[in-house]
Amino acid sequence: MTYQIRPASVTDAAPIAAIYNHYVEHTAVSFEEQTVPVDEMASRITTILQQGLPYLVATHGNDVVGYCYATPWKARAAYRYSVEVTVYLAATAQGQGLGYALYQQLFAALRAAGYHAALGGIVQPNPGSVALHEKCGMTQVALLPDIGFKFGQWHSVGYWQLLL
């Protein structure tokens, strides 16, 4: 399949919400327990873009099939060169290198903007996501055991880091 990657806009909120809400409803990948309405997703996209951070979507034809973005790692001033990164793909777009392509463009944008470190949190176990992050050059720097409770059980989260 051929994909295009471009900057996201609030007009992408509905397909982004649809991709994300699948993970909210059916997996522990997201620790949210309620689906995110389209207007809330639009607000989240706007906030990230207003912060000057990259938010990208991947399209196949006219359909958004994946997205990635960066958010500030923490609010304290000394963290201003560090971000947390996230990537989500529609089921039909998985296993085709699209997550890698999205991350490569995201990391390039972050480097160009002067960021130093990117961190990605991965609910464990998730070998596919670990493989993607490590393919992108990220290394595990932390494991938070039993940090989130969803679907009646505890879940651990590992953090992978890339120095840009």
The domain total for the chain is: 1
Q: Which two tokens stand for residue 64?
A: 């958004």
How would you write the pLDDT of the chain (164 residues) with one tens digit per residue?
Answer: 799 999 999 999 999 999 999 999 999 999 999 999 999 999 999 999 999 999 999 999 999 999 999 999 999 999 999 999 999 999 999 999 999 999 999 999 999 999 999 999 999 999 999 999 999 999 999 999 999 999 999 999 999 999 99
Which CATH number does the domain housing residue 12 bear?
3.40.630.30
Please give the model's pTM, rounded to 2 decimal places.
0.96
Q: What is the pLDDT of residue 33?
A: 97
> How many Å apart are CA 38 and CA 53, to the nearest integer?
20
For 57, the domain range is: 4-163
The alpha carbon dihedral of 105, 120, 44, 74 has a sign of: negative
